[in-house]
Amino acid sequence: MTTNEMVSLLLALPAGVVLGVLFFGGLWWTVRKGVASESPAAWFFGSLVLRMGIALGGFCLVGNGDWERLILCLAGFVVARLAVTRLTRRNGGQQGGAAPEASYAP
């Protein structure tokens, strides 16, 4: 394995983290904006197209036909998912209960 190949393998993981932060951070931002919007379907659809385009394009550029780089990029993407999920969790990590605005529903 040459030095160039080693460097490209080492850069695939952080590239996957960046793609994951853009994808899942964008999803979090979209949910916050879309719920309060007059036209949430437009927000969610537009965000989906943009986020998927960025993620798939990034995976194609990083992978470039090499399965090892693609796997490392995917690993970085998953790490970013875990990080964004942890950083954007509400109520100090409590999950499962009804949303505060839905607690008064019949």
Question: Among 2, 52, 7, which Cα is nearest to 27's?
Answer: 52
Query: What pLDDT digit, counting tens, does each position of 8-65 carry?
Result: 889 999 999 999 999 999 999 999 999 999 999 999 999 999 999 999 999 999 999 8
Model pTM?
0.80
Q: Tell me the C-alpha distance between 72 and 30, whole Å.
A: 27
Q: Tell me the C-alpha distance between 61 and 39, whole Å.
A: 33
Model confidence at 89, in pLDDT bands (50, 70, 90)?
confident
Q: Tell me the C-alpha distance between 102 and 31, whole Å.
A: 17
The mean pLDDT value of the chain amounts to 88
> Residue ranges of the domains in the chain?
7-88
